[in-house]
Chains A and B, each alone.
Chain A
């Protein structure tokens, strides 16, 4: 029913050029390194791994109006893994939704740009998550409200594969499937990493897509770094009468060869590694 509603405005740039989105993602990776480097605080591996998801969501998919952050029919984005903020804040700043100069105080005492994103920041942070497992429930509430009010808003929830170990997530998955919330899209950042290391050495959550399918969702497994695949999957999600779960395989540290594949939840970023990472991302830019 939501898909039948005509959106009264589409202020997003809606970039469909994959190469441009690749460039944006690389720029967001550099911003992520630059945010974390001064204090060594913040989540590097997860940010680099999710950069392509953020680039596609914020520059191609989400209907947002930076000049009107409270626009009722805006799409909602919920970062359930709310600690993954270096990439999140870098994206909000690049999208013009928060002040880039203020974001530069990331993780410093007194800054609203804390490690875990909270509503202190304002509307770009739609809910205070980070106590893992809660984001999908909040997204369901937003999806139900949009449906009841005839709003065209779609709700996007990004969570981590490790987060699927939280029981509340499955309460929410069951409900969303049962209620047929077609305006809800869940993206699982499937980076195989949690605090204790590789997810399969803790508690395996595989197979993720099959689980969501069984709960009444349409679930797709995609490469979380394949921009074209992400665009196409998000296009398909908008046309369904069921909630969509995209299981996006991502690589921790993606884009920085010396960091790729290191499953360090709390990786500290020494200055020399930060410089090396920026050089790698810069070189990649020049190579294009």
Chain B
């Protein structure tokens, strides 16, 4: 690859030297799964490198399909393949894998309970590109589809475990991924990942933070800050947004307040799912949602956007403290 080509690829696909050298946790896990199960096929819509499927392309070329910039067609093709016994993993950015082809996902994957895994990268406010590439409603859309499982792992180990789990699961899944860029904290032990089971990462009686995806690390940061001012909170990693773990109900009953945290609109995603579960189980508790507050955002660095739109550890900790004061009054 010439130096000029290399620069072009970095600009669009990686954007930082750290990312360029980051381990392709998803791509490696998919290739491993496909080596175990010859029914697994891989489809991508002109986004091979950004979805780490270059490893699959080079490792198992006969099961790799480049469909071009045509997401609706890709979903239909996957539906046809699944009906013939294949297990297609389809890849794009989160926005284009969901909103762009929603009807196709509904009819060719969700309704027939096709064994297709829809995998999106670039969740929420994690792109310089701007509003066209920001997926702030993808979890809401996928959650609304009957039969669809929705998973957002929180880190590399969980990404790997989730890929193995969904490959073994017979049915449609939406997997929402933030690619590793090398800046991750040491991964939590996630080898016990099971679809539909929450993980309690730390205990405290001062409140409960329920988070998914990138917000799990941020929730742990917030918990550290709160501990510094004498508030010990429980942090739950709710990697499966649908079906939501009903064990949350009993945990919630022990808590004075609950705050959900998601890199997504507060409408229709994790916060909505938790609220629905708790209300229908008569858990009446102080409740707040941290996420994108019913607005479109703009392009920018993740740290800038998370600060601006209230997804930072500081904002999350402040929300817990505000709720605690409200609870006490």
A positions within 8 Å CB-CB of B: 118-119, 126-131, 133-134, 136-146, 148-149, 167-168, 171-172, 174-175, 178
Contacts and interface: CB of A to CB of B under 8 A. Distances in A.
B300 interface: no
B104 interface: yes
Interface string B72-111: 1111111111111110100000000000000110011001
Contacts of B107: 128-131, 134
A127 B79 contact: yes
B68 interface: yes
Contacts of B130: none
Nearest to A135: B76
B63 A138 contact: no
Given A128-B111, A131-B103, A175-B68, A145 B81 contact: yes
Given A128-B107, A129-B107, A131-B103, A141 B72 contact: no
Contacts of A133: 72
Interface string B36-68: 000001000000000000000000001101011
B146 interface: no
A148 B80 CA distance: 13
Contact of A171 (B70, B82, B88): B70
A171 to B, nearest CB: 4
B292 to A, nearest CB: 30
B246 interface: no
Contacts of B84: 141-142, 145-146, 149
B78 A171 contact: no
Contact of A148 (B63, B68, B74, B111): B63
Nearest to A130: B107
B65 to A, nearest CB: 7
B204 interface: no
Contacts of B65: 144
Contacts of B88: 141
Given A138-B76, A143-B80, A144-B80, 10 more contacts: A119-B111, A127-B112, A130-B107, A137-B108, A138-B80, A138-B83, A140-B73, A141-B81, A148-B62, A175-B70
Main secondary structure of the interface of B (DSSP, over half): helix
Main secondary structure of the interface of A (DSSP, over half): helix
Nearest to A148: B62
Nearest to B69: A171
A134 B63 contact: no
Identify the 5 closest CB pairs spanning chains A and B, nearest first: A141-B80, A137-B76, A145-B84, A171-B73, A171-B70
Contacts of B103: 131, 134
Contact of A141 (B62, B63, B77, B112): B77
B60 to A, nearest CB: 11
Contacts of A126: 83
Contacts of B79: 127, 137-138, 141
Nearest to A153: B84
A145 B85 contact: yes
Contact of B73 (A118, A137, A148): A137
A142 B81 contact: yes
Contacts of B81: 141-142, 144-145
27 contacts: A126-B83, A127-B83, A127-B108, A128-B112, A129-B107, A131-B107, A134-B76, A137-B75, A137-B79, A138-B77, A138-B80, A141-B76, A141-B81, A141-B84, A141-B88, A142-B81, A142-B83, A142-B84, A143-B80, A145-B84, A146-B84, A148-B62, A167-B72, A171-B68, A172-B70, A175-B68, A175-B73
B7 to A, nearest CB: 29
A138 B67 contact: no
Contacts of A168: 70, 72-73, 76, 104
Contacts of B76: 134, 136-138, 140-141, 168, 172
Contacts of A130: 107
A279 to B, nearest CB: 40
Contacts of A136: 76
B114 to A, nearest CB: 9
A141 B67 contact: no
Contact of B78 (A119, A141, A143): A141
Contacts of B112: 119, 127-128
A174 B77 contact: no
Nearest to B78: A141
Contacts of B67: 175
A118 B106 CA distance: 13
A139 B70 contact: no
A150 to B, nearest CB: 12
A140 B70 contact: no
A149 B80 CA distance: 14
Interface string B180-211: 00000000000000000000000000000000
A149 B85 CA distance: 10
B227 to A, nearest CB: 52
A248 B41 CA distance: 35
A285 to B, nearest CB: 38
Please indicate which of the listed interface residues A119, A137, A143, A172 has the most CB atoms of chain B within 10 Å of its own CB. A137
A129 B111 CA distance: 11
Given A127-B112, A134-B107, A171 B80 contact: no
A6 to B, nearest CB: 20
Please indicate which of the listed interface residues B41, B65, B84, B88 has the most CB atoms of chain A within 10 Å of its own CB. B84
